Amino acid sequence: MFGLDKKDTSLFFLVVVLVALAPFLLNPFPENSELAQFNAGYPDLMQRFLIFGIFAIGFNILFGLTGYLSFGHAAFLGVGSYAGVWMMKLLTMNVIPAIFMSVVFAGLFSLLVGYISLRRSGIYFSILTLAFAQMSFSLAYSVLTPITAGETGLQLALDDPRIIGVSAVDGSIPAANLFGLPMRESFELAMGGWLFTFNAGYYLCAVVMLAAFYVAIRIFRSPFGMMLRAVKSNQQRMNFTGVNSKPYTLAAFVISGMYAGLAGGLMVAMDPLAGAERMQWTASGEVVLMTILGGAGTLIGPVLGAGFIKYFENIFSKINDNVLYEWFSALPDGLADVLVFVIHPFIGKGWHLTLGIMFMLIVIFLPGGIMEGIERLGRLFSRKKKSETPSRAAPAPAE
């Protein structure tokens, strides 16, 4: 269906269902229970899952397929964000033009950066992309302040011209909307002890993310995708096979840059502001982590990686010592103290420590990321099943 084979169709539908039902699925704990803090079903976090999912899907098209490790992709997300905010300032609060221009500008910028960086490969390529991203970051903070608003970040203002639309409504800035439907609008459903929130912005992100995911599947299964994997496998053979690998890698670079711009545009659509810190190399590092953690080169891995990191970032940074003491309240005081003392460095502000350790463990033991883990588990179970069958058959003759 949709030009996908059977396996991909079921994967795609699984993702559609999960994304559509996420407000339920991510809120498994009743509102008043102690476990409610593990709920992830609120709009802001769910939007981030999808937006970073898109970013990682795009990054994976470059890194997962061609093996070119870019350390500068956050720059494209940043450029997309700025373009989006400017569309909202100058044209309309409708999010469609903003998102569209985000993609266009990120695409153009990645074409420039990619064209130059791809003249080199290996670590030289990584350093070139890093250099470009750091340059953009520094410039956004300094010279380009008229465009980027420097350290304060680019925001909407009451006197924005906004050609289609109005500068202000009742003395305040109008809300970002999709043909009149405000992105902030939410419908809340209370069922028993549970409270589910269905947010317009989230579902916009969902539609965009599903489209982006669909396109990624098609690219993976296309001759173009196969060529990209061949570039990763053996570029020399590629050239002697009559393929010009440069336009292929450049196309992959620009596509992934446009995905980053799309993510940046959606960020703006959800919350109309943009800051230079989005372009910093640590932000580029984060998308690398997401992709690797989930499983580079797999279809769904990067999305899982993005969700995993954003979820734990959110949960871990919320847990503090008091929460820990509540959990361990059943334990004797001394033991609880020790446990809290041991766990303390890894939670709250120590979340990055946990992330770093987790990341190292993944690279060391599971280079294929979460997807490889799932595969190994799968194999483990199928092997068990196989070994069970003969053992059940064996005692039969004795009866």
- How far apart are CB 218 and other proteins at their closest, in Å? 5
- Give 157 or 361: the residue with its C-beta nearer to other proteins: 361
Among positions 141-160, residues that touch other proteins (CB under 8 A) are: 141-144
Contact between 248 and other proteins (CB under 8 A)? Answer: yes
Q: Which structure tokens are listed for 325? A: 């003491």
Does residue number 218 form part of the binding site for other proteins (CB under 8 A)? Answer: yes
Q: Does 391 bind other proteins (CB under 8 A)?
A: no
Size of the site for other proteins (CB under 8 A): 70
Strands 273-274 and 177-178: unpaired
Residues in the chain: 399
CA distance 42 to 27: 8
Quick check: 317 binds other proteins (CB under 8 A)? no
* Gap between the Cα atoms of 372 and 23, Å rounded: 28
> 154-155 and 273-274: which strand pairing?
antiparallel
Residue 130 contacts other proteins per CB under 8 A: yes
Among 27, 66, 126, 199, binds other proteins (CB under 8 A): 126
Residue 175 contacts other proteins per CB under 8 A: no
222 binds other proteins (CB under 8 A): yes
Amino acid letter for position 99:
I
Window 257 to 286, contacts with other proteins (CB under 8 A):
281-282, 285
Task: Give the integer Cα–Cα distance in Å for 233 and 227.
Answer: 10
Site for other proteins contains 6 (CB under 8 A): no
Kindly identify the residues of this chain, within the stretch 288-307, that bind other proteins according to CB under 8 A: 288, 292
Burial annotation 176-207 (CB, 10 A radius, 16+ → b, else e): bbbeeeebeeeeeeeeeebbbbbbbbbbbbbe
Per CB under 8 A, the segment of 152-160, 201-209, 217-225, 315-323 that binds other proteins is 217-225
From 353, 376, 377, 383, residue interacting with other proteins (rule: CB under 8 A): 353
Rounded distance, CA 394 to CA 384, Å? 16
Q: How far is the CB of 137 from other proteins (least distance, A)?
A: 9
- Cα end-to-end span (Å), the chain: 51
Q: How many CA atoms lie within 13 A of 189 on its CB side?
A: 9
Compute CA distances 314 → 42, 45, 228, 290, whole Å: 12, 8, 35, 15
Identified binder of other proteins from the candidate list 16, 69, 200, 273, rule CB under 8 A = 69
Q: C-beta of 78: minimal distance to other proteins in Å?
A: 15
Closest CB 346 distance from other proteins, rounded Å: 9
The secondary structure element, H or E, covering residue 154 is strand 154-155
Which residue, 87 or 118, has its beta carbon nearer to other proteins?
Answer: 118
Least Å from the CB of residue 331 to other proteins: 24
* Letter string b/e over residues 89-99, b meaning 16 or more CB atoms within 10 A of that residue's CB: bebbbbbebbb
Our CB check for other proteins shows the closer of 57 and 88 to be: 57
Per the rule left: phi > 0, alpha: psi between -120 and 50, beta: everything else, 195 is beta
Could you say which of 43, 67, 272, 302 contacts other proteins (CB under 8 A)? 67
Tell me: does residue 350 bind other proteins (CB under 8 A).
yes
Q: Taking a C-beta distance cutoff of 8 angstroms, is the pair 340, 324 a contact?
A: yes
Q: Give the pair of three-digit tokens for residue 224.
A: 């173009």
Binding map of other proteins across residues 224-243, x = CB under 8 A, - = no contact? xxxx-xx-xxx-xxxxxxxx
- Applying CB under 8 A, which residues contact other proteins? 3, 5, 67, 69, 116, 119-124, 126-128, 130-132, 134-135, 138-139, 141-144, 218-219, 221-227, 229-230, 232-234, 236-245, 247-248, 251, 255, 281-282, 285, 288, 292, 345, 350, 352-353, 355-357, 359-360, 363-364, 367
